[in-house]
Amino acid sequence: MAFRPREEIRVVACLFFILFMGVADNQVLSPLLPTIQIKFSKSATDMGFLFTGYAFCAGLSVLIWGPLSDAFGRKQGLMGGLILFLTGSFISFFASGFATLLAGRMLTGMGASMLSLNTISYAADFFPYQTRGWAMGSIFASYFAALILGVPLGSLIGERWGWNVVFGAMGCMALCLFIGTQRMLPRLERKAIPIREMKPGAIILQYLGFMMARTTLSGLLSSLFASAGTMGFIAFLGAWLHDAFGIAAGQIGLVFLSGIITIKILSHNMSLLWA
């Protein structure tokens, strides 16, 4: 097997851990939810705002990050996203009230959307077509790694040292990745779009045209329903397991681990049957 150049390995590793952190931070909230609910004496409906606030800020802000990434560059977008992410994580870590925690999660969502966007964009710009599939596959493996390793580990940390320590650990990881990104990722040489030439009206029309085109509308709707179904199921799974069976956060993380492994085995077997 041919070895990849060292620079490509460094880029893949850096982007892998950035995406790993974003996915783990989003999914680990479900096992921690019962403990947070008891801490702030809130209802299940109130807890839902932690998910919707995060998702709303992430979904809305990513429409802004796209043009800014084109104007200032992918690496700068990653650096900015890490700053927002670690700031939101540390606000969540020090939160003494539910409103502060919600604000921290919303800011973290904005940072996470910036990281996801620029991770994909950076990989697409950096890797040539001949190696882009290998690079994308390696980077997106972090999604499953976060579910298999990140969520159970975060659940165990939350059970042992407290839910807020999990967010503090995420902030420390973001700080380490900020330093690593600065050193490991080369700045891409490309012709940027001057910010003064970006017209908000034109950008909105481009988004509307993209969403209304038949070739992209079906993909957007499929992604919407798949994401809504997944998050609707996962969001309160931890709270249900805790209330119905008295399962602690660490054990809930193991339930997530066993479920993901089972899904991977079934999907692999199904792919073999259809091959």
Is the pLDDT at 19 greater than 80? The verdict is yes
How much is the average pLDDT of 190-203? 63
218 located within any domain? no
**Interatomic CA distance for residues 182 and 208, integer angstroms:** 35
Return the CATH number at 146: 1.20.1250.20
210 located within any domain? no
212 located within any domain? no
pLDDT digits (tens, 9 = 90+) for 218-240: 666 666 666 666 666 666 666 66
Q: For residue 167, how many other CB atoms are within 10 A of its CB? A: 28
Residue 251, judged by CB atoms within 10 A of its CB (0-12, 13-18, 19+), counts as middle
pLDDT digits (tens, 9 = 90+) for 77-87: 999 999 999 99
Q: Which two tokens stand for residue 138?
A: 């390696």
230 located within any domain? no
How many domains does the chain fold into? 1
89 located within any domain? yes
CB 28 within 8 A of CB 154: yes
pTM for this structure? 0.80
137 located within any domain? yes
